Amino acid sequence: MPWSLPNTLTWTRIAAIPLIVLLFYMPYPWADPAAGLLFAAAGITDSLDGYLARRLGQISRLGAFLDPVADKLIVAVALVLLVSRDPRALIVLTAVVIIGREITISALREWMAEIGARRKVAVSQLGKYKTILQITGLALMLYRVPLFGLPTYGAGVVLIEVAAVATLVSMAAYLRAAWPELRRNTDLPP
């Protein structure tokens, strides 16, 4: 079912990535808010596609593969864009932590799937909260301009920093859950 409603939402999230990049670099006062709003809308599709797949009985292998890829792509692109505009150490280190964690956990899940233990590193509740913090924080940072007098960029930085901490905590939890399997299937010390 490559074009089921859930998969279409995921494809739409992927298609939004170049539009977000284009908006980010446009020299118009409305471009940053538009990039932030498009990113937020794409983030909402992340929640909807999984819910609809389960609700409509349209769970597919393509969707199970594509959804996390879309999530990681859009977050990584947003982080790289933001670092290009704000290369302060705090922003750069946050991007490194988040992107590094995503690569590490993706590789861990792939390896655990190969040895038949994927369920041990299934998405946790903390992982879901981390995603909400990331999407909200990045959307606010991309939006950039104050909204009703509120500093959206600053609020986004705070949220993305909290998300980075949650990222490290959730990574430690996934690694702890996988450690017995890693030890059993490799030459790692106990």
Domain assignment present for 95: yes
Query: How many CB atoms sit inside 10 A of residue 114's CB?
Result: 10
Measured N-to-C along each axis, helices 152-185 and 125-143 cross at an angle, to the nearest 10 degrees, of: 150
Q: What is the pLDDT of residue 180?
A: 81
Domain assignment present for 115: yes
pLDDT digits (tens, 9 = 90+) for 41-64: 999 998 888 888 888 888 888 888
- Confidence at 163, pLDDT banded by 50, 70, 90: very high
What would the mean pLDDT of 102-107 be, rounded to a whole number? 89
For residues 60 and 1, what is the distance between their CA atoms, to the nearest angstrom? 7
Q: How many domains does the chain have?
A: 1
pLDDT digits (tens, 9 = 90+) for 133-145: 999 999 999 999 9
Full residue range of the structural domain in which residue 10 is found: 5-185
CB 38 within 8 A of CB 19: yes
Q: What is the pLDDT of residue 52?
A: 85
Q: Report the range of poorest mean pLDDT among 91-95, 149-153, 174-178.
A: 174-178
CATH number of the domain encompassing residue 116? 1.20.120.1760
Domain assignment present for 190: no
Domain assignment present for 86: yes
Amino acid at 164: A
Domain assignment present for 78: yes
